[in-house]
Structure 1
Amino acid sequence: MTALCTALPDQLRLLLVDDHRIFLDGLSLALAPLCPDLQIQTAQNAGEAEACLRRHDFDLILLDLRLPDVAGLELLQRWQQQGRLTPVAILSASDSNLDVQAALTAGALGFIPKSANSDDLRQAVTRVLLGETLPAPAAGEKPPLTPRQSQILLLLADGLPNKAISRQLGVSEDTIKTHLKTLFQELDVHTRTACVSAARQRGWL
């Protein structure tokens, strides 16, 4: 690890945002060798992350895509709109090229899979800290949507409630709810607004 750390400053402050406490603890241990004076703060949701950012400046934020209160991409987009300059890398269990592309489009400097081992993780974090943007995998993956899901997504973007969507498509409201649940899971979101926003980021709308 010495070769990796020589180009980094002796002191760094990182913010790790993930809703799993055990993962945060393991991540902190894996990153500990980065530099002699590494200060790590953790947050388990968007609210805690924003509170940390009001108190301190950070050299890097590692952000999970799935948070309990606000989707990671939505939070990243909010920071970009606020003009926040802190570098952000996405750290996620997702292996979807669509998620990678959406993260980079939203302003992330890299997408690091949670499946990475400690050495690969530290190398990726080091590259981002040194100003690199981690390369994205080749694009070309198509949206994993059925024609019905695409129809529902378009009507959702028009602001229609479930009842109106069900009437327009001639299916039950329960069917609409089932499709929406699948869309929410696919897009890692918890609200209708976030669903539309994430779909636009991926170019589905």
Structure 2
Amino acid sequence: MAIITVIEPHPLLRLGILQLLTDVSPVTETHGKDYSCLEQDTPEPGNCDLVMLSVSSFEQLHHLASQAERVFGPKAMLLLSEADDMPHTAQGLPPSVRGYVAKDASPEVLQASVRLVLAGGTCFPMRSGTPANQPLLSRFQPVKWPPVPEKPKVAANSASTEYEMLGITPRQYEVLVLLARGYPMKTVGRCLNISVATAKAHTETLYQRLDVHNRNAAVYEAVSRGATLGWPTITGVGDDQKAEA
């Protein structure tokens, strides 16, 4: 079971992040705290797998991160950033810092970043010159576990643009959408009306196309390239052979 502590001074944003984290894994234990927890003299008992630490500027990063390391002793730390000057690598950062995610990132990006860091990866996304249309808090919707498989809706032209942008087939894009939502392979097959073996084959080919080796890396790679991972409604494509043609 992964233990995650979210240190965020804004109570509503903290609550939203905690509820989004319930969609990361059914066996995740989460705790929410504000900056006052960093002032305590006694370290927190028990093990902490991940601290998600809110930082408003690069200048305060080292101080807050060192305090969080002292109190919680986390295996890894993911920064929740409001700043535009965050580094692109771990060089010069406290050893437990494995990356950062912008506070105006979409819920899908935040969840993918958490999964990636928990899996032992790092998360230092490239800066984008275009700000997100909506901040994380305004896009937050309460989530329930276990999720009920359903097909998210997105415009056909948006889906077509995304699978072409990623260099994958429409079917591989559908698989990627379901993987991003944390569904097991059996559920992916059921949603797409294909066998588990076929779903696995599409997944392996998808990984090769994106040059990754697992689900978390595939989702992170896709969203880093600008994909929103909504459900595609693709017209004019009858099967994978047509898509490959």
TM-score by length of 2: 0.43
Q: Letter of the 2:17 partner, please give it.
A: L
Match of 1:36 in 2: 26
Question: Quick one: structure 1 residues 79 and 43, their matched pair in 2 at CA, closer, same or farther if it must change by over 3 Å?
Answer: closer
For 1:108-119, what aligned pairs fall within 5 Å after superposition?
A: 108-119=97-108
Q: Letter of the 2:25 partner, please give it.
A: C
Match of 1:106 in 2: 93
Paired with 2:71 and 2:89, the residues of 1 have a C-alpha distance of 19
Paired with 1:49 and 1:42, the residues of 2 have a C-alpha distance of 13
2:4 to 5, 8, 14: 14
Match of 1:88 in 2: 77
Question: Quick one: structure 1 residues 101 and 131, their matched pair in 2 at CA, closer, same or farther if it must change by over 3 Å?
Answer: same
Paired with 2:63 and 2:18, the residues of 1 have a C-alpha distance of 24
**Greater helix share, 1 or 2?**
1
**Identical positions, percent:** 18
Q: Letter of the 1:114 partner, please give it.
A: K
SS in 1 for 2:23: helix
State the 1:43 CA deviation. Answer: 1.3
SS in 2 for 1:23: helix
1:74 to 63, 71, 77: 63
Check conservation: 1:110, 1:135, Cα contact below 8 A. Answer: yes
State the 1:73 CA deviation. Answer: 2.5
Question: Quick one: structure 1 residues 131 and 26, their matched pair in 2 at CA, closer, same or farther if it must change by over 3 Å?
Answer: same
Check conservation: 2:43, 2:71, Cα contact below 8 A. Answer: no
1:130-172, CA deviations, whole angstroms, 9 ceiling, x for partnerless residues?
Answer: 111123548xxxxxxxxxxxxxxxxxxxxxxxxxxxxxxxxxx
State the 1:21 CA deviation. Answer: 0.5
SS in 2 for 1:54: coil
Unmatched 5+ stretches in structure 2: 128-245
Paired with 2:89 and 2:67, the residues of 1 have a C-alpha distance of 14
Paired with 2:89 and 2:62, the residues of 1 have a C-alpha distance of 8
Paired with 1:83 and 1:32, the residues of 2 have a C-alpha distance of 21
1:37-70, CA deviations, whole angstroms, 9 ceiling, x for partnerless residues?
Answer: 221111110x414659522311100001149xx9
Paired with 2:48 and 2:18, the residues of 1 have a C-alpha distance of 15
SS in 1 for 2:122: coil
Match of 2:132 in 1: none
TM-score by length of 1: 0.51
Instruction: Note the aligned Cα RMSD (angstroms).
Output: 3.2
SS in 2 for 1:105: coil
State the 1:86 CA deviation. Answer: 2.1
Check conservation: 1:16, 1:61, Cα contact below 8 A. Answer: yes
Count of equivalent residues: 123
Check conservation: 1:109, 1:132, Cα contact below 8 A. Answer: yes
